[in-house]
């Protein structure tokens, strides 16, 4: 019995509408099913020469669909399908709305193929694997357009405090408003205040909270990620899409933000020193930690605190903390 002809629409690559070639889509689908393959393993599975697969992986990386570990040789991971399509759409903003709708519809067909990377739990929430979480964290920063919100506390899962936060800097350079709430416990960790100062100097709005209940990142109030078990750095992470739950998380952030102490980098040296001391005093750090942060002696710290008490009209350290908090609130 003769075989039935296959229609052209059945064989057309799903992502062709977004400029993804057939070979690139094959590699992407393969990485959705098998996480952490090396380029050699990918080439063998696809029947390609190593030079050819290198070009395919480079193209997918430029499109924001694939990233790799720093290992040698590197291991490659596909971005979750919905995250990948957002990156593709961001790269083609000038194209007509109809093309964007077709792309989103096409990417939905990859959901079944990505079951190994993401455990599905409806469209409003998903439980992400560690590799998918790392990919999503990067893509949220690269595709955010208006606002990035974060609650930052230990343990740190993705960011490295000893290195510049290039993802944040890229977002700030695009005009994204970035607001970070930092748990005061982090200020006693080596490098954290320098990290905050660097970020604030680049334009991040930063405040210090006495204590944060959980970790959170929200991009454009359309997507959020929350680690579900802070005791397990590689544990499950919840992805939340637009819903009443996401609205509640945004409101919780705003409530915590209003109650927190601003951390600022003043343009003038004297004002900068005063504001830095006020910020550290109201964040709950002890004198020794403040001395280390400011690089001053105990005698110098005592002299500056005495000057602040005189400036604010405080009779005691306790009253100074209260007046400093009032002053910070007045400038919010």
Distance (Å, rounded) from C-alpha 291 to C-alpha 293?
5
- In the CATH scheme, what architecture does the domain 13-114 have? Orthogonal Bundle (1.10)
**pLDDT above 70 as % of the chain:** 74
CA 189 to chain centre: 20
Instruction: Indicate the pLDDT class of residue 311, thresholds 50, 70 and 90.
Output: confident
Distance (Å, rounded) from C-alpha 50 to C-alpha 66?
17
pLDDT tens, position by position, 224-243: 999 998 877 778 899 999 99
Beta strands (DSSP E) in the chain are: 66-68, 76-78, 118-121, 125-128, 147-152, 177-183, 205-209, 216-219, 223-227, 237-240, 261-263
**pLDDT at position 92 over 70:** no
φ, ψ for residue 174 (rounded to 5)? -85, 0
Distance (Å, rounded) from C-alpha 324 to C-alpha 281?
8
How many CB atoms are closer than 10 A to CB 72? 6
Per the CB < 8 A criterion, the answer to whether 177 and 144 are in contact is no
The CATH code that applies to domain 117-262 is: 3.30.870.10
* Structure token pair of residue 49: 């020469």
3-state helix, strand, coil in the chain (%, to 5): 50, 15, 35
Q: 13-114 and 266-330 share one CATH topology?
A: yes
Distance (Å, rounded) from C-alpha 14 to C-alpha 19?
10
Least confident span in 129-143, 213-227, 305-319: 305-319
For residues 172-188, average pLDDT? 90
Per the CB < 8 A criterion, the answer to whether 81 and 45 are in contact is no
Per the CB < 8 A criterion, the answer to whether 138 and 64 are in contact is no
CB neighbours of 7 closer than 8 A, spacing ≥ 6?
Answer: none
Lookup result for tokens 């982090």? 186
- In the CATH scheme, what architecture does the domain 266-330 have? Orthogonal Bundle (1.10)
Distance (Å, rounded) from C-alpha 332 to C-alpha 326?
10
For residues 124-145, average pLDDT? 87
**Beta-ladder partners of 240:** 125, 224
Going from N- to C-terminal start, the domains of the chain cover 13-114, 117-262, 266-330
Distance (Å, rounded) from C-alpha 79 to C-alpha 100?
18
Per the CB < 8 A criterion, the answer to whether 145 and 176 are in contact is yes
Q: What is the pLDDT of residue 6?
A: 42
CB neighbours of 304 closer than 8 A, spacing ≥ 6?
Answer: 273, 274, 277, 296
**Beta-ladder partners of 239:** 126, 225
Give the strand pairing for 261-263 and 147-152.
Answer: unpaired
Distance (Å, rounded) from C-alpha 162 to C-alpha 293?
16
Q: What is the pLDDT of residue 332?
A: 52
Q: What is the pLDDT of residue 318?
A: 73
């Amino acid at each position: 019995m003769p075989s039935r002809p296959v229609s052209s629409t059945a064989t057309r690559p799903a992502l062709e509408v977004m400029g993804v070639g057939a070979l690139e889509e094959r590699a992407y689908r393969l990485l959705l099913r098998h996480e952490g393959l090396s380029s050699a393993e990918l080439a063998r599975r696809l029947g390609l020469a190593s030079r050819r697969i290198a070009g395919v992986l480079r193209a997918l990386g430029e499109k924001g669909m694939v990233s790799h570990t720093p290992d040698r040789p590197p291991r490659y991971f596909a971005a979750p399908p919905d995250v990948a399509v957002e990156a593709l759409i961001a790269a083609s903003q000038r194209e007509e709305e109809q093309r964007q709708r077709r792309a989103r519809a096409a990417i939905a067909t990859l959901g079944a193929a990505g079951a190994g990377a993401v455990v599905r739990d409806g469209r409003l929430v998903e439980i992400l694997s560690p590799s998918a979480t790392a990919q999503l964290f990067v893509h949220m920063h690269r595709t955010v357009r208006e606002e990035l919100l974060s609650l930052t506390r230990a343990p740190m899962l993705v960011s490295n405090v000893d290195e510049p936060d290039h993802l944040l800097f890229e977002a700030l350079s695009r005009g994204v408003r970035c607001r970070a709430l930092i748990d005061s416990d982090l200020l006693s960790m080596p490098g954290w205040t320098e990290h905050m100062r660097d970020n604030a100097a680049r334009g991040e709005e930063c405040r210090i909270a006495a204590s944060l209940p959980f970790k959170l990142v929200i991009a454009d109030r359309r997507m959020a990620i929350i680690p579900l078990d802070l005791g397990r750095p590689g544990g499950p992470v919840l992805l939340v899409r637009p819903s009443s739950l996401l609205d509640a998380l945004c409101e919780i952030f705003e409530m915590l933000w209003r109650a927190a102490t601003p951390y600022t980098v003043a343009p003038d040296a004297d004002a900068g020193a005063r504001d830095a001391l006020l910020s550290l005093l109201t964040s709950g750090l002890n004198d020794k930690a403040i001395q280390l942060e400011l690089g001053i002696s105990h005698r110098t710290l005592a002299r500056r605190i005495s000057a602040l008490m005189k400036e604010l009209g405080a009779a005691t350290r306790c009253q100074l903390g209260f007046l400093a908090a009032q002053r910070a609130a007045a400038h919010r």
